[in-house]
Structure 1
């Protein structure tokens, strides 16, 4: 049997597999055509039925050549662009290992490769390979490994992990990268989009849940660390959360009425100079802004005690919201439309 790879007739079955640059021809493996059965380049098993590129002597067993890619659905085994070997769906509801992409514990359905100790929960297994983020419009960002690999195995690791440009956290084994600009973003930050309009700044700001290293606030000239902050990647511009625009109102489970932002709040009947947050019932700094009930209820909440709703509003989960910068009487707004990074 002679296989003509240039034959474009309908009698020849072809598959374009991500692991090889040429189309692969599907055919039945017979011993008279080969001195010995070739091994599959993905799983390593001997090929019985094969997808082959004879120009390159590249072989895949039929099972690996037809594995579903990325769109995991309910498949028990998938072929993922991040890994050379198939990923198997684990039957446990909770897999007590960190995700190789985002670093958080794997919860729910998880795909894994035990030989390489790589695990992806279903949500991360379905991440796009390329995105375009408005913070870096010059090039697309590609989800890729931070380590050198050969044959599916990690052969060398960076002595120092790549650091996310937005939150300054060390990235996991995989990150969204632009190699032309030496830019890395962890998965969570790469999927964020600048939505906050800040007066006097040419670009919209992105709000990050936590800054993991010292970044100087451009307003107070002190460091943002271990707290939320506003960031502009294009200008390397940073603001403490309380230095930037905050939602004028929030609705929180701690109180039935809407809470309103106030620069400072000192109770008229407080004679002992002790000021308390009504959510955590701890002393608060009266110089800091709070959320209070404008309907007359005795409810005063520190920003940190309603931070879940503040961050939800800033990330667009509550629609377009009015914002205000504390102490400067400057209004702003959050744009909730087209929040997700563009998949390409």
Structure 2
């Protein structure tokens, strides 16, 4: 009997330890977000998932914007988080033998410089040498409607910065071309592909590509003269389809990344191809590595002219954090680093009030 009691005690201790390791104290996080809100240091939303369920959600800073109407279904522009989704859709083609990582860009766009030696893999992992079409002469120029021909002409004009595999340099042009390749193979526009392959299977109600005409989206704001004012210039999102056009909520970004890592979007072996190789790569093929003082996450960030996003996933804890802001003062990486430290009871410094 004593032996049985001892076994039961050991099991209970082990169970309690496991529960404790999976439970976070959100008191520090609440204090942090309240500090941000009370001192006009940002506007946005945070959602945290653990074991595939939302365990924390908070909006902050919205009360500081006069006459702002919103709810938990109000979407944010997520910028380049869109690229993570585009990469997943490309990999669905690869695992279905409709495309290969080794396929050359010349099979689809022979007029692009170095198209005969740039591969699909190069485009995915930012090793193609192609530049960033969203910037022309040092200025973001895609704030008004431009044609596909104008974009392709600029990509050709910008040429290559280096030969494939020589360097890693973030390339919006690469993901524009990947989106066009995706559309050519599917013979459908990106928004219909996304709806059929991602949104409907995952039952997403508040995530959409721009051509689906999403509604109820936060406008971007900037803090100027002691108040938040609406930012008048923003990207014209039809110019960045598949590159940075998706609007979503933090909760649904968490659903997407959890579904990705639970192999509901692509197979396990396919996901491994998307991920960066630890200690060798910072960028994978659609997923980046985020190291917050030893806490390792994988995911993607996004920036528009006024809205910013970061969605990251920790494999060991089955923990994901989605952060969206339409009024940024503190850079998103620093903001989320403080969230991570608060979850693991690590010390962090509250941002200065200027």
TM-score over 0.5 for the pair: no
More helix by share: 2
TM-score by length of 1: 0.20
TM-score by length of 2: 0.20
More strand by share: 1
Relative contact order, CA 8 A, sep 6+: which one is greater? 2
